[in-house]
Amino acid sequence: MINKLSNFLNKQRLNQLEHYRHPGFFKVTLTNENGKKVPYTLVVTRQHQQLLLPQQKADGLTGPLYFRSYSSYFKRYNSLTELPLGARQFVKAYLQTFAEQINPKLTPASLTLGVVTDTHDKADANYTYYGSNGQQHIEELNLLDQTGILDFKGHLGDAIDGSDPGNISQAHLGKIVATLNQDKTPFFMAKGNHDENDKYDEKFFHNHPSFQANTYGNLVYKKLLSQPQIKQLSYQTGLSYFDKGQVRVIVLNTSDVPYLITANGLKKYDVKLTLAIRQQQIAELITVLQQSEGKQIVVLGHANLLKADGSEGLQFNGHAVHELLVAFNRHLKGRLCPKSTN
């Protein structure tokens, strides 16, 4: 277990913790793999057990928790064990109360969605509102699902922070999808600009991108699009949609960026810095809208098509998609003509 934790805990510092055997609370500092110092509170019990609690700025108590017991036979501490962050009990109570209040207002024609976004899940410590509490929020969305009021549940992008090594980010992204897919309620998911792990590649480029062209699709789209309730016109664009009665929800991919590698091994487009909807996805959106006569349309996605001042929210085609939706609402007919090719 020490090997597993060595990416986060400095081994030399662990040796120093061996000397804390008297009951009490102690402030200690651990160093992670990126050289950042992380403040912890060390709790030592009368049974010489050690519990490491992160001193975080957000969400009260978040980040990795560690525990180890003392071996009276070997006269030393046993290996550290990471304690998983489960759903918080006060959140469970709040969601139960909320469900009880909203349930009488629902009708068979109601469409009820449970949505989270920007969980930015990562293995590193939580310095702001992002960190290892991301998975915790997904599990708490499942608590809302268990009340029985949801028709669909979903994540609107930046499921991961994209700042961990590729294998770690893949494990976290896969776990989020598996958690969303646990119950019978179908889930939807929009791609965020952090979900291709380019934030890690910006700082620690190792001759090739940490995510391959199909990494996100293999982890997300395979399970997402295998659900009969979630429909799509192709696997490539990331656009999906689903219906309940006369309501149709369309999920756009605002990180619709081609995976192109330059001669030096870098990606031509940094997905974290490039927000876009390409021509094929626009064509699919037009097709879905043409098939949506008489339906009420809800459009979801990660990034805003336009900024508050009306300027482009995406680097590519945000305004064009906005104008397309305006034309649909006004029941207009015509052609969407690009100002420039993409």
- Match domain 89-329 to its CATH number in 3.40.50.2300, 3.60.21.10, 3.30.470.20, 3.90.320.10: 3.60.21.10
Q: Which H, E and C letters describe the chain, residue by residue?
A: CHHHHCCCCCHHHHHHHCCCCCCEEEEEEEECCCCCEEEEEEEECCCCCEEEEECCCCCCCCCCEEEECEECCCCEECCCEEECCCCCHHHHHHHHHHHHHHHHHCCCCCCCEEEECCCCECCCCCCCCCCCCHHHHHHHHHHHHCCCCCCEEEECCCCECCCCCHHHHHHHHHHHHHHHCCCCCCEEECCCCCCCCHHHHHHCCCCCCCCCCCHHHHHHHHHHCCCCCCECCCCCCCCEEEEECCEEEEECCCECCCCCECCCCCECCCCCCCCECCHHHHHHHHHHHHCCCCCEEEEECCCCCECCCCCECCCECHHHHHHHHHHHHCCCCCCCCCCCCC
Averages of pLDDT over each 10 residues, the chain, 342 residues: 43 67 84 68 86 63 70 83 75 95 95 96 66 85 96 98 92 96 95 96 84 95 96 95 97 97 90 96 97 95 95 95 94 77 47
pLDDT at 85: 66
- Residue 5 confidence (pLDDT): 44
**What is the structure's pLDDT at 62?**
47
pTM, 2 dp: 0.79
Per-residue pLDDT at 39: 79
The residues spanned by each domain of the chain are 2-83, 89-329
